[in-house]
A and B are shown apart, each in its own frame.
Chain A
Amino acid sequence: MSARRIFTRPARIAVLAPYLWMALFFLVPFGFVVKISLSQTAIAQPPYLPVFDLAAGWSAIKAAFVALSLDNFRLLVSDNLYVLSCLRSVIVASVSTAILLAIGYPIAYGMARLPKSWQPLAMMLVIVPFWTSFLIRIYAWINILQHDGLLNKILLALHVVAAPVVWLSTDTAMFVGIVYSYLPFMILPLYATLAKLQPSLLEAAADLGASPRRAFWLVTFPLSLPGVGAGVLLCFIPIVGEFVIPDLLAGSDSIMIGQTLWLEFFTNRDWPVASALAVVLLALLLLPLLIYERLQRRQLEGAQ
């Protein structure tokens, strides 16, 4: 009884707050999206059928329910365009996340090993790019990567290349843009776990005969896995749905799911197909989250 007393009524309400927030701003709108994904396009306002009209009475609503169908999802599966853009999204996100991890880990590791008084400065440097608008930074990259951009000028001046290289509108440009934009999201959670690591653990490892390299793989890395997981999720999920960077920096021969969605929604005005895509995208993103959750739970259980 005394233990339960810690949670006063306001505290219990506070615990509910995130769920209320989720219900109001995620579940309800998502319900609308699911409903639209089961509808058909129509030249109307709104541009789909059926429409639930509460004023038209019970039988009308029942008729609307019957009119719902999975046709849009069948279309998504049958048309290569959608499958390919899903696949491309996952591949781009995986490759980018791998590059981000490979670059972000050493940076975070270095930051965590700086003298304590320098660490806030390093952290500032990681966050500083956020002070400029994201779009402006991507446009800056266009400037750097274009035909007569900074990069080509430098390469020509250094005689690394004889003629300007095409950077813009390639996958390379897109990866550069993605890695550049998401790097802080990888570094910060990694830094947070690495900074918490007790130096005496590494001393203990050395004392027990582990060389610095082995100590890294046997102690530092396993203990930083929660940070790796968080960083990977924080990058992978938004990159799968990324729209602006591939649209501005990549070529137009293959597109990602976010771009497809945009096309369906604004160019084709096909709200139902766009909604179906959104549902699929969400399902795709839930998958890594579930895996992460499962792993964490297993780790907790393994500890028992």
Chain B
Amino acid sequence: MAEDIANSGTLPDSVDTRLPPKDAPLLRIDAVEKRFGGFVAVDELSLEIRTGEFFALLGPSGCGKTTLLRMLAGFESPDRGRILLNGQDIAAVLPHQRPVNMMFQNYALFPHLSVAGNIAFGLKRAGLPGAEIADRVAEMVALVKLEGLEKRRPDQLSGGQQQRVALARALARRPQLLLLDEPLAALDKKLRESTQLELMALQRRLGTTFVIVTHDQEEAMTMADRIGVMESGRLEQVATPRQLYEAPVSRWVAEFVGDINIFEGTVEARDGGRLTIATRDAGAIVAAAPRQPGETTRICVAIRPEKVRLSRRGPVADAVEIGAINRLEGVVTDVSYLGGLTGYTVKLDDGALVRASMANIARLDIDSYAAGQRVVAWFSPDDCVVLER
């Protein structure tokens, strides 16, 4: 499994309390493949999702997220592999018989029905009594804050309002598995954040298993118990948000999730838990060795900007342990003040550009640097990630 390769002996996994109980998977995707003509949209993908889990699929546009979701909902059938729901192969189960609901990327609201009519559609098909349908519709309308708009038609709603109707419609049936295809993409930042929290609360309250597709990594990190990073139809890594961010398994994942400095180089020396890497344009860097070191000597060292600190002179190196601290000298070339953080770009004397971001913990700018200033960028070997691919 991808997570095991992670070079993260010291990762505080136990801090993450959001992992659901490890019981039998609700959903098992087993080496599923989907082709469109000669094009492989989903490539031998395997994944297990546990009951009650909030799972996010994260990936760039066109990587096959929607295709995977459509196979789960039953609108596409896999060319190879199996999809098991509650241990049963659902290949033969028609979409309208699956205990799965989907929120469509383009909403797919019924234009001839009102907001309430759209939300009630699935409830009526389920044969609920009228009073219960009315209650559930009212509850859903309140949940997505559409009170007063129940009688409107979809074309009389804004994009964000339409999206909320689609969400309410998919939630109303309380399915075992809810698939959400970019459910919040059209909402403004405030509403998106509050809806994220509400979705999480709702998910915990109902115990429904959510699979959400997004290409907003912050959204995935906020909401999901686990994240699957997809690229070209494959799952690059499946991990908790923290593992994904702190222990990416590949250069691609490291660069896709968050901001990161990457230095290419070759391994010079292996000394216990430490690797000394001669980089092309940042001198020698000492990094913690991966737990299961590979054969390759051509590797990358990666460090997140917030783990790079700047100072005028740099800390005095611990004489006892050589390489306790990496110190890279250079000149500040760019400063961007972002409120809570300030981002710096430092051009090292060896040529590389290093980004550092520092929290603005004081109101007065006693601790800031100006462009043109000489600084030392320093970071601990433990904060470095060694990427072998």
Contacts and interface: CB of A to CB of B under 8 A. Distances in A.
B153 interface: yes
Interface in B67-111: 73-75, 94-96, 100-102, 104, 106, 108-111
Contacts of B319: none
Contact of A211 (B74, B96, B106): B96
A203 B95 contact: yes
Interface residues of B, number: 27
Contacts of A210: 96, 121, 125
Contacts of A218: 121
Interface string A8-41: 0000000000000000000000000000000000
B363 interface: no
Interface string A197-219: 01011011111111110110011
A201 B95 contact: no
Among A198, A205, A208, A212, chain B packs the most CB atoms within 10 A around the CB of A208
Given A203-B95, A303-B156, A209 B110 contact: no
B323 interface: no
Nearest to A214: B125
A295 to B, nearest CB: 14
Contacts of B122: 207-209
Given A214-B125, A219-B110, A207 B96 contact: yes
B96 A222 contact: no
Interface string B102-132: 1010101111100000000110011000000
Contacts of A211: 96
A210 B101 CA distance: 12
B110 A201 contact: yes
Nearest to A225: B112
B94 A206 contact: yes
6 contacts: A204-B110, A205-B121, A208-B173, A219-B112, A222-B112, A304-B156
Given A203-B104, A303-B153, 14 more contacts: A198-B108, A201-B110, A201-B111, A203-B73, A204-B104, A205-B110, A207-B101, A208-B96, A209-B126, A209-B173, A210-B96, A212-B96, A215-B96, A223-B112
Interface of B: 73-75, 94-96, 100-102, 104, 106, 108-112, 121-122, 125-126, 152-153, 155-156, 169-170, 173
